[in-house]
Chain A
Amino acid sequence: MSPLANLPMIRLLVAKDWDLFQRQLAAYVGAGILALALIGSAKPWTFYLGSLLLLVVLVAAACFAISTSLLTERKERTLGFVMSLPVTPLDFYLAKIAGNLVTFGVPFVVLVGGTAGVILSTPVPDGLLVWSLLVFGHVLLAHAVSLSVAMAVESEGWNTFAMIASMVLVNPFIMMLGQIPAIAGPMRGEAIVWSAEAIAILSTQVLLSAAVIGFTGWVHCRKRAFY
């Protein structure tokens, strides 16, 4: 056994979480595909409705993944049972991150890929790609923040606040993108323009997400009680 992590147990914990909410997850993926279909039919109203649905699905999937795997476990007092199994807090943390990679990451990647495919293969202007990837970047960051708060803070109120606030901020974020000419400009054209501003924003989102998750792990492994 590696001194750092206990792989078979991590796998077992992830499989357990998967058992617990596979059905709901399938529903989210289904709704996501419907949203993509709406976007893909490329009429102005379906495009608008589809994008909206897509955002809703992503936000819901993110919140669901967090609340089922962390908050419910604490609230229903199953956490003690899980932590009494032969695992360390680090194993538990890694299992939750890995589990979230599946429960949030899989629909996220499907939706990002689907969106890119729809934009590139339909009459929707290809320039929209950069803009949509930035919006997805925001959802990724918001999820990372919510996940971290769920892991580190026990208060349900703060958790709900973190989830809703970080996701609602997508609105001002979209407005802000509209104010940046280097990003708003090429949106309606067919050319995909990776401006310095766009690259800076996207890399900040990705690095910040990773940093937040890493910091949470550090905090989690210093906790004094697990039940």
Chain B
Amino acid sequence: MTAAFTLSGVCKRYPAFALEDVDLALPEGEIMGLVGVNGAGKSTLLRLLGGLALPDRGTIEVLGHPMPAQQVQAKREIGLASEDMRLYGSQTLRWHMDLVRAAYPRWDEAYAGELLRRFDLRAAQPLKAFSHGQRVKALLLLNLARRPRLLLLDEPTTGLDPVARAEVLEALSEVLRDAARSVLFSSHDTHDIERLADRITFLHGGRVIDARDTAAFLDDWRRIVCHGALPASVGQWDGVASVRANGSLSELRVRGAEAVVGLLRAAGADVRSVDPMNLEEIFVATVRGGGKH
């Protein structure tokens, strides 16, 4: 099976920021979500994959094409939309569609027309008359209608109103139908990622701090509430990311709950509940628990 992309030992340094030693791969047909705070390196990672930046070290392969040596072949099968990418304000959406259509042999005019209707965009309007949400949707249309095998989306739903956001997510989940198409997208909204992504990668401070399939993330982490005095060393236990106490009640966020629950019982604590955590809580716990695993 071919990989949608493979990064090995990739480093990219900027004056104020560095992406360090990134090893990451996405099997074809899967969706990967990138979670990280601003400045974690999400945009840099997407730009490296889209051929807009070259790594200082390491190798990048996209759909079997080494970058940047075969970037033209790779870019023909990539759709890249990022928040800071702008279109020509003086030109109409139709002009942009014609430009992209001329550059991509697989451009699907019927699908473009359908997206125009669904996104409620006017092709004859110049881009400078578009609202932020319309610009985001226009860029997404230009990328989706070229039927890319790898779709790279940097914050596709940020700043959109709820209706536009639902339209974008709907269009994105249509890509799922085709087993040959892969997606890498970053989002502030971990709910979108939790729901749509097969795999999740946590980026923090320019490093990949965790990358696994979504089910593994969600099954692994639990919030434990217990009653009674806990040993002082509980924060150092294997898998315990955080401990908070309020009177005799304590809340632990842990990875590998069964072992911790056993230890808690052995220590005489009364375990009241063990609940799943959502992706946002898992991300925060992973960042705070930094490197303890």
Contacts and interface: CB of A to CB of B under 8 A. Distances in A.
A224 B85 CA distance: 18
A84 B86 contact: no
Interface stretch (A39-47, A85-93, A124-132): A85-93
Contact of B84 (A12, A20, A77): A77
A78 interface: yes
Give the interface residue-count category, chain A. 20 to 34
A82 B71 CA distance: 14
A84 B48 CA distance: 11
A77 B86 contact: yes
A88 B87 contact: no
Contact of B52 (A6, A84, A88): A84
A226 B52 CA distance: 5
A225 B72 contact: no
A83 B76 CA distance: 12
B99 interface: yes
Given A12-B103, A225-B52, A227-B53, A88 B68 contact: yes
Given A12-B103, A80-B47, A225-B52, 14 more contacts: A1-B72, A9-B103, A19-B91, A76-B86, A78-B88, A80-B85, A81-B85, A86-B75, A86-B103, A87-B75, A91-B72, A225-B54, A226-B53, A227-B84
Interface of B: 47, 50-54, 56, 68, 71-73, 75-76, 78, 80, 82, 84-91, 95, 99-100, 102-104, 139
23 contacts: A9-B103, A12-B99, A12-B102, A77-B84, A77-B86, A78-B86, A80-B52, A80-B82, A80-B86, A83-B52, A84-B50, A84-B51, A84-B80, A84-B85, A85-B75, A85-B103, A86-B71, A88-B68, A88-B72, A225-B53, A226-B53, A227-B47, A227-B85
Task: Please name the 8 residue pairs, one residue from A and one from B, whose CB atoms are nearest each other, closest first.
Answer: A86-B75, A77-B86, A80-B85, A225-B53, A227-B52, A86-B76, A84-B80, A86-B72
